[in-house]
Amino acid sequence: MIGTPEPKSEPKAAFGPKLLLASGSPRRLQLLSQAGIEPDSLLPTSVDETPLKHELPRSLAKRLARSKADAARAMAARTPEFANAYILSADTVVAVGRRILPKAEFHDQASECLLLLSGRSHRVYTAVCLITPKGAIRQRLVETKVRFKRLSREEMDTYLGSGEWRDKAGGYAIQGLAGTFVVRLVGSYSSVVGLPLYETVAMLEGEGFPTRKGWLGPS
């Protein structure tokens, strides 16, 4: 008796296009996860983030996002599995006027940032860079205006004591305790956190990446 032929297995999703995130930021990874997108790998890069002389905040954000994407592409090229992947990077810059605030590493830096931000508006620029499997390069820059309340000495000292400011552009994290300082925000909240979701997803979709493939869960 002839047996029933085995059904052919369907291709697995793992063989679809791959996405590499050129960042080790848990915030950016969480934002992508919120959009239902899971990168196939993280490729944190190390680039010099020192602003060039007279460099404007928006130009710095775009340059650093591009530099991170280029560095990640060079790393991915050494791994055959990732040779034809999409590469996504981002960089966030906080500025008061043309003055670029540092990514605070020390207590004094964070304190100076809070003094500058207290009771006034500032701008947050997040640039996103995408390199497609065909080598096309796409970039978007999102500008968001944020206004802080006037901070008391006690509020500043307590926030500095929390340590939340460490390694944060402008010395604060809007998704954390500093969210209580924000009086007004005009623009993209997710961009201030570190990755503008609408623009990022639109850019990926425009270049053929299936952004909603994970929305229904495993088949």
- Residue 36 counted as domain residue: yes
Per residue in 57-114, pLDDT tens? 999 999 999 999 999 999 999 988 898 899 999 999 999 999 999 999 999 999 999 9
- Is 103 a member of any domain? yes
Is the residue at 214 inside a domain?
Answer: no
**Predicted pLDDT at 8:** 37
Confidence of residue 177 (pLDDT cuts 50, 70, 90): very high
For residue 115, is it within any domain? yes
Distance of CA 173 to the CA centre of its chain: 13
Query: Which candidate, 77, 80, 81, 79, places its Cα nearest to that of 135?
Result: 77
Tens-place pLDDT, residues 10-44:
333 456 789 999 998 999 999 999 999 999 999 99
In a domain, 105, yes or no: yes
Entry field: residues in the chain: 219
Please report whether residue 2 resides in a domain. Answer: no
> Which residues does residue 42 pair with via DSSP β-bridges, in sequence order?
21
> Which residue range(s) make up the domain with 80?
17-206
Active site residue 108: no
- CATH code of the domain covering residue 161: 3.90.950.10
Task: Specify whether the CB–CB gap between 161 and 154 falls below 8 A.
Answer: no
The residues, ordered by sequence, that sit 6+ positions from 76 with a Cβ below 8 Å of its Cβ are 20, 43, 82, 83, 85, 87
Tell me: the pLDDT tens digits for 125-167? Answer: 999 999 999 999 999 999 999 999 999 999 999 999 999 999 9
The sign of the CA dihedral 165, 179, 27, 144 is negative
Count of structural domains within the chain: 1
Q: What's residue 1's pLDDT?
A: 37
Catalytic residue among 91, 108, 157, 167: 91
Q: How confident is the model at residue 217 (pLDDT cuts 50, 70, 90)?
A: low
Residue with tokens 């305790």: 177
Is 105:209 a contact under the CB 8 Å cutoff? Answer: no
Give the CA dihedral 97, 100, 106, 108, nearest 10 degrees: -30
Residue 1 inside a domain? The answer is no
DSSP string, 58-105: HHHHHHHHHHHHHHHHHHHTTSGGGTT-EEEEEEEEEEETTEEPPEE-
pLDDT score for 189:
97
